[in-house]
Chain A
Amino acid sequence: MKYTYYPGCSLKATAKEYDLSTRAVMSELGAEFEELEDWTCCGASAVETISYLLALALPARNLALAEQGKGNIQFVASCTACYVNHRKVEERVRETPDLLDTINEALSVEGLAYTGKAKVRHLLDVIANDVGPEAIAGRVKRPLVGLRVAPYYGCQTVRPYSPFDDPDQPESMDRVLAALGTQVYPNPMKAQCCGGTLLTTKREVGIKLVSNLLEAVEGADCIATVCPMCQMNLDAYQGQVSQKLGRPVSIPILYLTQLLGLAFGLPEKQLGLGYNIVPFESLPAKLAA
């Protein structure tokens, strides 16, 4: 199947490993991922504080680019914030059709127009539902048996839009992890928030939220994520979490796509495993044991 791939800004910088592993794994699964040309930022979580219209026009610009000269477009965002921002355009225009004219008036300065043909999808939705656990299990060369993986969806992957999973107790990733042979570690906080930009703007509160999440899955071998913001927040602040909790906390935070790649037997380099901050050298050892 063909997809228009929107990596988003993080995947070109701090979340390189997510981009690398997404490309490697999707190609292994036979999905055609074509990166959108000339894409620009969706506005992240900053734009809504600045302008209501810009929060729609920025993602609409990408959707308009994707629609150029094409029929059915599956627009896939791997970053959860990118997914929600693009999806918001679809939803808002459906609720208030007049908005389309205003958005297009803004886009006209670049000679672009958005029609609504592009369908916005989250990478997790594509992996769990278009490909599906069965096809995934069929590709597994090195089952991750015995690896206790805690699934972490984060908030915006399933909220406010929940077309492919439960907004409170999602399980699409659980099914994918089970197909890889892992032992899915129960995570009661799988859809709670990591704090998002609070880690930058309100550090203490952010550290508390991350501590809650890491404590909830103590005993797991690693955590699986599908959002670069979640990954960064859980991965980069474990030193401060250890200080706060008064005991060492060290748990690798992997992208779901990295785990898929490991189970498919892809070379670690293709999966960008060296970019994760908390090292996971212990994982292959555990798998070999």
Chain B
Amino acid sequence: MIEEAVDLTSQEFDRGFMSALAPAREKLRACIQCGTCTASCASAYAMDYTPRQLWRMIQLGLKDEVLNSKALWLCSICYSCTLYCPRGIPLTETIGTLKRMAVNEGIRKHKESRNFYRAVMDTVRNHGRMDEVEVMIRYFLSTNPLMAVNYAPLALTMLSKGKVSLGLPKLVGPGKLDKLFDKVEELEGKR
């Protein structure tokens, strides 16, 4: 893997970044850069920064590099790194926190992943349950309707097997979980 150097002389140390990573921050300071996380990660090969590099960048306060890294969205949440980390750092959970930070900052290059997860949660808010067809329709509409072409063969297989059924999704109107979602937003200070 070719590793590109990060020029630290031109970077600003973001003091708030590390402290925003509670409750893992004390443990993240204990990372010894052994690389067991990277070795255990099935998708590390496709990442711009490996997990080990991410933790070092966090220690160095390189917020922009970390939050812009596509590595966050290649984590499949399998908890291998968490299991093997000799320092006991909750690494998978930290990736989750970083994803939320990146979503909140509205980083554009993560648009596809972000739109997908939003499509799931909007569907759940609406019906209380997931509806795979509605999720995909919301995802295509919010990202690029032409994407649907790539998913057509799978959709046809699923339809012919009776695994999904086609119906017009209800995209407006009161949702089953509106009250709970609103209350959580209020408690998290987002409203």
Interface residues of A (CB under 8 A from B): 9-10, 12-16, 40-41, 43-54, 57-58, 61, 102, 105-110, 155-156, 159-160, 167-168, 192-198, 200-205, 208-209, 212, 236-237, 239, 274-275, 277
Q: How far is the CA of A192 from the CA of B83 in the complex (A)?
A: 12
Interface residues of B (CB under 8 A from A): 42-43, 46, 73-74, 76-80, 82-83, 92, 96-97, 99-100, 103, 112-114, 116-118, 120-121, 124, 128-132, 150, 153-154, 157-158, 161-164, 176-177, 179-185, 187-188
- CB neighbours (8 Å) of A167 from chain B are 79, 83
Q: Is the CB of B181 within 8 A of A54?
A: yes
Q: Is the CB of B184 within 8 A of A54?
A: yes
Q: A49-B96, A192-B42 are in contact. Are A61 and B79 (CB under 8 A)?
A: no
Smallest CB separation, A227 vs chain B (Å): 12
Q: Is the CB of B83 within 8 A of A47?
A: no
Q: How far is the CA of A105 from the CA of B161 in the complex (A)?
A: 43
- CB neighbours (8 Å) of B124 from chain A are 40-41, 43-44, 46-47, 58
- Tell which of A40, A43, A160, A237 touches B92, judged by Cβ atoms closer than 8 Å: A160
Q: How far is the CA of A75 from the CA of B56 in the complex (A)?
A: 40
Q: Is the CB of A105 within 8 A of B183?
A: yes
Most buried by B among A12, A196, A200: A200
Q: Is the CB of A155 within 8 A of B79?
A: yes
Tell me if B's interface is mostly helix, strand, loop or mixed: helix
A-B CB contact pairs (8 Å), 11 listed:
A13-B164, A15-B163, A40-B177, A44-B120, A47-B120, A50-B100, A50-B103, A156-B77, A159-B83, A194-B76, A237-B154
Q: Is the CB of A16 within 8 A of B187?
A: no
New contact pairs (18) apart from A102-B187, A239-B153, CB-CB < 8 Å? A16-B163, A46-B118, A47-B121, A49-B114, A50-B118, A53-B188, A54-B121, A105-B183, A108-B183, A109-B183, A193-B80, A198-B43, A201-B116, A202-B43, A202-B46, A202-B74, A212-B42, A236-B158
Smallest CB separation, B116 vs chain A (Å): 5
Q: Is the CB of B78 within 8 A of A192?
A: yes
Q: Is the CB of B79 within 8 A of A160?
A: yes
- CB neighbours (8 Å) of B162 from chain A are 16, 274-275
- CB neighbours (8 Å) of B80 from chain A are 155, 159, 192-193
Q: Is the CB of A106 within 8 A of B130?
A: no
Smallest CB separation, A55 vs chain B (Å): 8
- CB neighbours (8 Å) of B78 from chain A are 155-156, 159, 192-193, 196
Q: Is the CB of A49 within 8 A of B187?
A: no
- CB neighbours (8 Å) of B92 from chain A are 160
Q: Is the CB of A110 within 8 A of B118?
A: no
- CB neighbours (8 Å) of A105 from chain B are 183, 187
Q: A48-B100, A49-B96 are in contact. Are A9 and B129 (CB under 8 A)?
A: yes
Q: How far is the CA of A194 from the CA of B154 in the complex (A)?
A: 17
- CB neighbours (8 Å) of B112 from chain A are 201
Q: Is the CB of A14 within 8 A of B46?
A: no
Q: How far is the CA of A57 from the CA of B183 in the complex (A)?
A: 10
Smallest CB separation, A16 vs chain B (Å): 7
Most buried by A among B76, B117, B176: B76
- Tell which of A61, A212, A274 touches B180, judged by Cβ atoms closer than 8 Å: A61
Q: A50-B103, A160-B83 are in contact. Are A41 and B128 (CB under 8 A)?
A: yes
Smallest CB separation, A165 vs chain B (Å): 13
Most buried by A among B97, B116, B124, B157: B124
